[in-house]
Amino acid sequence: MTTVTATELQNNFGKYLQSVQSGNEVIILRNGKEVARLISRERTVSFLTDELVGVLKGNYDDKALRAERISKHEDLD
């Protein structure tokens, strides 16, 4: 993983694009804060599924979850 500023990325885009195509990840900073992540298309699917692990476990009932959310908001009124 490489961390670069937005200006550095802009000035050397080809270099970082080649790095991403080789399988590396580039984190882009603006004013010292992470604002973006550049990853290859092949890694996108695994990155997204890794982020969702635990979120989509088992079966769930959309209607029951919606009713639960609505009831929570009604309790606040």
d(CA 42, CA 20): 10
Task: Tell me the per-residue pLDDT of 60-75, one tens digit each, with 9 for 90 and over.
Answer: 677 887 888 788 777 6
Domain residue ranges of the chain, discontinuous segments joined by +: 2-43+52-76
Superfamily of domain 2-43+52-76: YefM-like domain (3.40.1620.10)
d(CA 7, CA 22): 22
Q: Taking the chain (77 residues) in consecutive chunks of 10 residues, what is each chunk's mean pLDDT? A: 95 96 94 93 70 60 78 68
Q: Model-level pTM?
A: 0.58
Calculate the alpha carbon distances from 16 to 26, 41, 75 in Å: 7, 14, 51
Place of tokens 């692990």: 53
